[in-house]
Amino acid sequence: MDVYFPLSKRSRTSASGERFEQKKPSIEVLPDECLFEIFRWLRGGRERSSCACVSKRWLILVSNICKYEIRDNNIIQALNPKDESTSKKGGIVSEVEHNDVDSDGYFTRSLEGKKATDGGLAAIAVGTASRGGLGKLFIRGSNSWNRVTTVGLRAISRGCPSLRVLSLWNLSSIGDEGLCEIANGCHRLVTLDLCHCPAVTDKSLLAIAKGCPKLNDLTIESCANVGNEGLLALACCCTNLKSVSIKNCPLVGDQGVASLLSSASYSLTKLKLQALNITDEMFSVIGHYGKSVTDLSLTSLPNVSDKGFWIMGNSQGLQKLKSFTIASCLGLTDRGLEAVGKGCVNLKQFYLFKCDLLSDKGLVSFAKVAGSLESLQLEDCHRITQIGLFCSLLNCSAKLKVISLVNCLGVMDLTTGLPPLSPCESLQSLSIRNCPGFSDSSLAVLGKLCPQLQHVELRGLHGITDAGFLQLLESCNAGLVKVNLKDCVNLSDKGVCRLTNLHRWTLETLNLDGCKISDASLFAIAENCRLLGDLDVSKCAITDSGIAALAHSDLINVQILSVSGCSMVSDKSLPSLRNLGKTLLGLNLQQCKAISRSAIGLLVQQLWRCNILF
Q: What are 206-232's pLDDT values in tens digits?
A: 999 999 999 999 999 999 999 999 999
35/265: higher pLDDT: 265
Rounded mean pLDDT, 296-322: 95
21/611: higher pLDDT: 611
Helical H runs in 384-492? Answer: 386-395, 440-449, 466-475
Rounded mean pLDDT, 137-165: 87
The SS3 assignment for 587 reads: strand
Rounded mean pLDDT, 174-184: 94
How many contiguous H segments (helices) and E segments (strands) does the chain have? 23, 22
Q: How confident is the model at residue 89 (pLDDT cuts 50, 70, 90)?
A: very low
221 - beta bridge partners? 195, 247
pLDDT of res. 286:
95
pLDDT of res. 519:
96
The crossing angle, in degrees rounded to 10, of helices 519-528 and 544-552 is: 0
pLDDT of res. 397:
79
CA distance 270 to 508: 35
pLDDT of res. 97:
39
Q: How confident is the model at residue 85 (pLDDT cuts 50, 70, 90)?
A: very low
Kindly provide the residue ranges of all beta strands, DSSP E only, lying in 497-551, ordered along the sequence: 509-511, 534-536
Weakest mean pLDDT among 385-399, 468-482, 514-528, 555-569? 385-399
Whether 16 has a pLDDT exceeding 60, the answer reads no
Rounded mean pLDDT, 282-299: 95
pLDDT of res. 17:
53
CA distance 197 to 563: 44
pLDDT of res. 549:
95
pLDDT digits (tens, 9 = 90+) for 354-396: 999 999 999 999 999 999 999 999 999 999 998 888 888 888 8
The SS3 assignment for 598 reads: helix
Helix (H) or strand (E) holding 79: helix 73-79
Whether 434 has a pLDDT exceeding 60, the answer reads yes
Q: How confident is the model at residue 138 (pLDDT cuts 50, 70, 90)?
A: very high
Weakest mean pLDDT among 54-58, 272-276, 305-309? 54-58
Rounded mean pLDDT, 15-32: 60
pLDDT digits (tens, 9 = 90+) for 249-261: 999 999 999 999 9
Instruction: Let me know: does 355 contact 382? Beta carbons within 8 Å.
Output: no
247/446: higher pLDDT: 247
Whether 602 has a pLDDT exceeding 60, the answer reads yes
pLDDT of res. 19:
56
pLDDT of res. 90:
40
Nearest 5°: the CA angle 123, 126, 131 is: 120
Q: How confident is the model at residue 4 (pLDDT cuts 50, 70, 90)?
A: very low
Instruction: Let me know: does 495 contact 524? Beta carbons within 8 Å.
Output: no
4/516: higher pLDDT: 516
pLDDT of res. 86:
42
Rounded mean pLDDT, 467-480: 93
Q: Is 605 exposed, middle or buried (0-12, 13-18, 19+ CB in 10 A)?
A: exposed
Share of the chain above pLDDT 90, in %: 66
Neighbouring CB atoms inside 10 A of 470's CB total: 19
Share of the chain above pLDDT 70, in %: 82
Q: How confident is the model at residue 26 (pLDDT cuts 50, 70, 90)?
A: low
Whether 134 has a pLDDT exceeding 70, the answer reads yes
Whether 324 has a pLDDT exceeding 70, the answer reads yes
Whether 248 has a pLDDT exceeding 60, the answer reads yes
pLDDT of res. 69:
62
pLDDT of res. 415:
54
Weakest mean pLDDT among 70-84, 100-114, 130-144, 555-569? 70-84
- Give backbone dihedrals phi and psi of 144, rounded to 5 degrees, phi first: -100, -5
Rounded mean pLDDT, 534-543: 96
pLDDT of res. 100:
44
Instruction: Write the CA distances from 581 to 119, 282, 578, integer angstroms.
Output: 47, 58, 5
Average pLDDT value for the chain: 86
Weakest mean pLDDT among 122-136, 318-332, 455-469? 122-136
Q: Look up residue 393 and give its DSSP letter.
A: H
Helix (H) or strand (E) holding 576: helix 574-580
Rounded mean pLDDT, 76-97: 43
Q: Is 601 exposed, middle or buried (0-12, 13-18, 19+ CB in 10 A)?
A: exposed
The SS3 assignment for 286 reads: helix
Q: How confident is the model at residue 27 (pLDDT cuts 50, 70, 90)?
A: low
Weakest mean pLDDT among 118-122, 149-153, 414-418? 414-418
pLDDT of res. 417:
58
160/77: higher pLDDT: 160
66/99: higher pLDDT: 66
pLDDT digits (tens, 9 = 90+) for 187-204: 999 999 999 999 999 999
